[in-house]
Amino acid sequence: MLPSTIDEHTTSRTVTAAGHPTHFHEAGTGRPVLLLHGSGPGVSAWSNWSGVLPELAGRHRVVAPDAAGFGGSGFHEGFEYGIKLWVAQLFGLMDALEIPSATLVGNSFGGGLALAAALRAPERVDGLVLLGTPCGTFPMTEGLAAGWHYEPDPGAMERVLRLFPYDPSLVTPEMVRARYEASARPGAQQAYRRLIPEPRGAGTPVKGVPEDRLATITAPTLVLHGREDRVIPAELGMRAAHAIPDAELHLFGECGHWVQSERRDAFVALVDDFLARRVR
């Protein structure tokens, strides 16, 4: 069940973008900031960003959409899902909300989506904040493989989720239940499996945005990564920060794949500081 509100100041509604019903949360006024969720079974904008959205909305206009096939957004059988569709959906949502350009804050898959958007239409991206974002080619990790093989089951969901944070106690029964219920909706797991190749043993290659393409990005970029990330290794965050010309890197010790949850206060402070200093 998706909530209708996060708090009394946050709306939840749906528009059509790229031919898909696109569900999103919105709060605040000012500079537009779009929060792009990661992948994984049962993921949604709500599950990724509810802990930080109200705080960020105190100073910015914050929009957190569900990508097609995830959360409350539509999934159509036989439709070709991939990064081109998700970028088109993102820009379609921005058009519907009359947002000509925005800062894109992307977690994991959402970071990859933000990078693809910046490469396709740099004039629409004022800045980038990348959390646990893949780049280049790297061997499939335990976290990615577990998510691909997942079939809806509460016990299986708990085992997958415990691979994400450094401290597994962050995975609560309420989180497991909500993510399991979301993962059981039609099309949810099919959408996730469009993102990564089927695991075929140790060393299965996974591809993110090539580093030579990252070198062409002009938007100011803040790269945030957990040192103990078992889904997207910290080395990839360092590679991205090295490749993007105007990038800053912050590496969190004793932190896994959920920087925005595991280091919530530091995340909000770093994003606010980055927007104030670097994004115009």
Helix ranges restricted to H, the chain: 45-49, 53-56, 83-96, 109-120, 142-149, 154-161, 173-183, 188-193, 211-214, 234-243, 259-262, 264-278
Active site residue ranges: 108, 229, 257
Residue labelled with tokens 């062409």: 216
CA torsion through residues 49, 54, 56, 61, sign: positive
Contact call for residues 32 and 102 (beta carbons, < 8 A): yes
Please answer whether residues 66 and 22 qualify as being in contact, where contact means their C-beta atoms are separated by less than 8 angstroms: yes
Contact yes or no for 92/62 (Cβ under 8 A): no
